[in-house]
């Protein structure tokens, strides 16, 4: 079956392990068509769940692993004892060419550290980035980095723009993604030096995306651009703030509609619209953050995702594996490298004259 897509799944990762992962694989097996799964983890636990999931059972092969990395395990500790664990084996299957992509809901730091060690960085890319899909007024935007790097220099920010645009094109279907740099204002002189330097590099290059300049925090929810680029510290704070606000508004809305008989009656009449809004704001619908910049595809699912949410992360992995995502990044990274090399050579050439 030469066209069969094979995905490698860490069945033990996340808050719930096989009890959520296997039902998610069952959903994905029915939705994705010609896909097979390598399930890494405790064979007895996986088999018990597969007995209740016929589509997953028919499409899966179990790869037993004696070890699992705990959700609170430090990355350094995970690296020391990670070999032979379910997450290590899931990523190694990508390196060995047995699978096109790996998916895990496990410990983010451990997954990142193990993925970097096993797969290494792609040529021309300095640092990895985690990308988040973000529901907006205009559809779905990609925001990165949301946690892999506390600080990023100008060249790394441009790399994030390249990787984020390729991701949005592959997963969310944009033809020529629009890209913005997150800043404290839209004026040219605003922001710190690294952001302004990245802005100049993006302006000067001809990439496979449409760079729109600086954007501000309120532009994220507006969906002003398809891809918003920032460092991991700022991106993670923005993401956690948005998640907290979504929970706050959800709780306030529920409390308001339970505040009295008329409010409860209003909730009945508005139930269809409220259901649509809840579905639109459900983080599970856009679950799945790829670790970009590696020599292979690794997708991180939220640790607390339910089965439909984890299945969404599997779909992201499948979309990336079936796209020209890697080639698109490589083309643009080469363009960036040529311009950076030219800029570095210019002062020396001027001095020689």
CATH number for the domain spanning 234: value is 3.40.718.10
Q: Say yes or no: 277 and 180 in one domain.
A: yes
246 falls in which pLDDT band (50, 70, 90)?
confident
Q: Say yes or no: 263 and 237 in one domain.
A: yes
Q: In this predicted structure, what is the pLDDT of residue 345?
A: 67
Q: Say yes or no: 159 and 102 in one domain.
A: no
Q: In percent, how much of the chain has pLDDT > 70?
A: 92
Q: Say yes or no: 298 and 262 in one domain.
A: no
Q: In this predicted structure, what is the pLDDT of residue 149?
A: 84
318 falls in which pLDDT band (50, 70, 90)?
very high
- In sequence order, the 6+-apart residues with CB closer than 8 A to the CB of 187 are 214
pLDDT at 103 over 70: yes
Least confident of 11-15, 29-33, 72-76, 345-349: 345-349
Q: Say yes or no: 143 and 18 in one domain.
A: no
Q: Say yes or no: 48 and 155 in one domain.
A: no
Tokens of 312: 């969404």
Q: In this predicted structure, what is the pLDDT of residue 88?
A: 94
Q: In this predicted structure, what is the pLDDT of residue 208?
A: 84
* pLDDT tens figures, 151-184: 889 999 999 999 999 999 999 989 999 999 999 8
Which residue in 330, 195, 83 sits closest to 91, CA to CA? 83
- Alpha-carbon distance of 50 to 5, in angstroms, equals 20
- In sequence order, the 6+-apart residues with CB closer than 8 A to the CB of 71 are 14, 15, 106, 107, 303
Q: Say yes or no: 280 and 242 in one domain.
A: yes
The DSSP code sequence of 177-216 is -EEEEE-S-SSTT-S-HHHHHHHHHHHH---SSEEEEEE-
- H/E run at residue 279: helix 271-281
Q: Say yes or no: 88 and 154 in one domain.
A: no
- Alpha-carbon distance of 328 to 331, in angstroms, equals 5
Please state, rounded to an integer, the average pLDDT across all residues of the chain. Answer: 87
Domain that holds residue 23: 1-120+294-322
- Alpha-carbon distance of 113 to 240, in angstroms, equals 22
Q: Are 280 and 135 contacting, i.e. CB atoms less than 8 angstroms apart?
A: yes
Interval 143-154 mean pLDDT: 88
Tokens of 93: 């299957």
Q: Are 227 and 235 contacting, i.e. CB atoms less than 8 angstroms apart?
A: no
- H/E run at residue 132: strand 129-136
- Considering only residues 294 and 274, tell me which one the structure prediction assigns the higher pLDDT: 294
Interval 100-129 mean pLDDT: 92
Interval 48-58 mean pLDDT: 95
Q: In percent, how much of the chain has pLDDT > 90?
A: 50
pLDDT at 353 over 70: no
pLDDT at 344 over 70: no
Q: Say yes or no: 101 and 170 in one domain.
A: no
352 falls in which pLDDT band (50, 70, 90)?
very low
Interval 229-250 mean pLDDT: 84
* DSSP-based three-state secondary structure for 36: strand
Tokens of 97: 């060419």
Q: Are 206 and 254 contacting, i.e. CB atoms less than 8 angstroms apart?
A: no
- Alpha-carbon distance of 215 to 228, in angstroms, equals 8
Domains: count for the chain: 2
Q: Cα 43 to chain center, whole Å?
A: 28
- In sequence order, the 6+-apart residues with CB closer than 8 A to the CB of 245 are none
pTM higher than 0.75? yes
In whole angstroms, how far apart are CA 191 and each of 198, 213, 218, 223? 11, 12, 16, 21
Q: Say yes or no: 30 and 82 in one domain.
A: yes
Q: Say yes or no: 172 and 201 in one domain.
A: yes
Q: Say yes or no: 110 and 201 in one domain.
A: no
């Amino acid at each position: 079956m030469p066209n069969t897509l094979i995905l490698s799944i860490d069945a033990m990762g996340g808050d719930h392990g096989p009890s959520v992962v296997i039902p998610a694989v069952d959903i994905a097996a029915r939705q994705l068509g010609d896909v097979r799964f390598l399930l890494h983890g405790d064979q007895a636990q996986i088999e018990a769940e597969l007995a209740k999931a016929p589509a997953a059972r028919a499409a899966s092969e179990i790869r037993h692993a004696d070890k699992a990395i705990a959700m609170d395990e430090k990355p350094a500790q995970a690296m020391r004892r990670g070999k032979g664990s379910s997450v290590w084996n899931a990523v190694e299957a990508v390196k060995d060419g047995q699978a096109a992509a790996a998916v895990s809901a496990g410990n983010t730091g451990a997954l990142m550290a193990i993925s970097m060690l096993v797969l290494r960085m792609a040529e021309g890319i300095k640092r990895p980035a985690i990308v988040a899909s973000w529901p907006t007024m205009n559809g779905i935007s990609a925001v990165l980095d949301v946690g892999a790097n506390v600080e990023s220099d100008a060249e790394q920010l441009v790399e994030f723009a390249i990787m984020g645009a390729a991701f949005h094109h592959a997963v969310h279907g944009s033809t020529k993604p629009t890209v913005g740099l997150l800043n404290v204002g839209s004026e040219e002189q605003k922001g710190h030096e690294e952001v302004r330097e990245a802005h100049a590099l993006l302006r000067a290059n001809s990439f496979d995306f449409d760079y729109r300049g600086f954007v501000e925090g309120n532009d994220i929810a507006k969906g002003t651009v398809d891809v918003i680029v920032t460092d991991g510290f700022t991106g993670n704070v923005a993401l956690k703030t948005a998640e907290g606000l979504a929970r706050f508004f959800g709780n306030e809305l529920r409390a308001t509609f339970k505040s009295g008989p008329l409010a409860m009656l209003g909730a009945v009449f508005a139930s269809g619209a409220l259901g649509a809004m809840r579905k639109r704001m459900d983080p599970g619908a856009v679950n799945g953050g790829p670790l970009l910049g590696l020599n292979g595809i690794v997708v991180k699912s939220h640790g607390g995702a339910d089965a439909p949410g984890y299945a969404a992360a599997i779909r992201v992995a499948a979309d990336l594996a079936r796209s020209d995502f890697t080639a698109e990044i490589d083309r643009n990274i080469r363009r960036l490298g040529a311009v950076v090399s030219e800029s570095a050579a210019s002062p020396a050439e001027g001095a020689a004259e």
